[in-house]
Structure 1
Amino acid sequence: MFGRGTGAGAQQVPFAFVAEADRFRDNVTPPPRERAGTGEIAGRVLIGLVVVSGLVGSLLLGMPALDVEQQRDRVQQQEQAGHSR
């Protein structure tokens, strides 16, 4: 027999009851999901566009700083400007 709870006052549960409980638990289907409304879909699309545009913008703004050739030219120009003073 299966004990229910712990302690001295625990009640015994018959096996047939436990087997029936498992059978009834398995035949319960969850309710169908609600379809997203137009506003919710538009909000999700808008959030996605904001995230993507932020990533693209940061890439466009960061690319000149990562350009090695342009960095060399800038350093050479600064060195020449420093020597001409």
Structure 2
Amino acid sequence: MFRRREPVPFAFVAEADRFRSNVTPPPRERLGRTQIAARGLVGLTVVAGLVGSLLFGIPALQPHQVPATSQQSEASEGR
């Protein structure tokens, strides 16, 4: 940490940067089987939605290709 160059009138203000708490947070609660299963199902649903959007979206983004034979046959019929 850096030191302050100007004098500080109160000692507790100068030591505030270095203060560490000795209070530990409470332990986290363990998840039950139903909560783990629910989170897993939500995750699978999100992944399935992304995969489905890719499966339906990629063909829609492909450039439209018209077969060359149909263009030639239409052009020859029009003459």
TM score, norm. by length of structure 1: 0.53
Alignment of 1:17-32 (within 5 A): 26-32=21-27
SS, match of residue 73 in structure 1 = coil
Task: Work out the CA distance in 2 between the residues paired with 1:51 and 1:33.
Answer: 26
Task: Work out the CA distance in 1 between the residues paired with 2:21 and 2:58.
Answer: 57
| 1:48 equivalent in structure 2 | 43
Task: Work out the CA distance in 1 between the residues paired with 2:32 and 2:66.
Answer: 55
TM score, norm. by length of structure 2: 0.57
Task: Work out the CA distance in 1 between the residues paired with 2:66 and 2:32.
Answer: 55
The alignment status of 1:62 with 2:57, answered yes or no, reads yes
| 2:16 equivalent in structure 1 | none
Shift of 1:61: 0.6
Shift of 1:73: 1.8
More helix by share: 1
* Count of residue pairs brought into register by the alignment: 60
Task: Work out the CA distance in 2 between the residues paired with 1:64 and 1:49.
Answer: 23
More strand by share: 1
SS, match of residue 72 in structure 1 = coil
SS, match of residue 58 in structure 1 = helix
Q: Which one has more relative contact order, counting CA pairs under 8 Å at least 6 apart?
A: 2
Shift of 1:72: 2.2
Moved over 3 A (4+): none
Structure 2: which 5+ residue stretches go unaligned? Answer: 1-8, 12-18
